[in-house]
Copies of this chain bind each other. A is one copy, B any other.
């Protein structure tokens, strides 16, 4: 609750920086410049320096940044020391993709349980994550504050209401529905159809000449 001055655009890039620094560290690299990092993550080097500068002077002029130090700093900043538990609602293909992704390794996020309405799935486990019936939300989900929503759009509203009443604070919504929640709950939407269509639109209307435009 301290770093309220950090621009949201910067905050969104932090996980990306973190992962690439991790890669570099594993490769045994000791130092890195904003220019090198820029080429790897495709973000302008001045933007990277600016981003880092919000956290103080992390680098050294003429030298660059010490990979290990930077990594340690971001680990703290991104709360990598403390595991965040998450629930996944909707064990379809998309949901299963999430379950198979090891967020614990790079992100210190653990999907603790999954929920689905399909009796064939209830009682099983995917990548060691137990699947419960959606009706068991109330009894199982105590203490979990973040949910990933990978259910059909029609069910988004009912499930959201349930989650809200159970005290959720954040939802990552993959359904095309734009859900309505009280003011204190944060929702991030990722709409696959919109992303695809936006790409197509950009291709037709914004022909590229200069560098690739990253989203």
Contact = CB atoms under 8 A, between A and B. Distances in A.
A57 interface: no
A196 B86 contact: yes
Contacts of A203: 145-146, 169-170, 186
Contacts of A103: 193, 196-197
Contacts of A212: 181-183, 185-187
A1 B196 CA distance: 19
Contact of A178 (B41, B98, B182): B41
A197 B105 CA distance: 12
A88 B82 CA distance: 36
Interface in A144-173: 145-146, 148, 169-170, 172
Report whether over half of chain A's contact residues are helix, strand or loop; otherwise say mixed. mixed
B193 A107 contact: yes
A84 B196 CA distance: 11
B16 A191 contact: yes
Interface stretch (A6-14, A25-33, A60-68): A6-14
A208 interface: yes
A170 B186 contact: no
A172 B196 contact: yes
Nearest to A16: B194
A125 interface: no
Interface stretch (A45-53, A89-97, A115-123, A131-139): A89-97
Contact of A11 (B19, B86, B169, B198): B198
Interface of A: 1-4, 6, 8, 11-12, 14-16, 18-20, 40-42, 78-79, 84, 86, 92-94, 96-98, 100-101, 103, 106-107, 109, 145-146, 148, 169-170, 172, 176, 178, 180-215
8 contacts: A6-B205, A8-B206, A101-B192, A184-B209, A185-B212, A186-B199, A188-B195, A190-B215
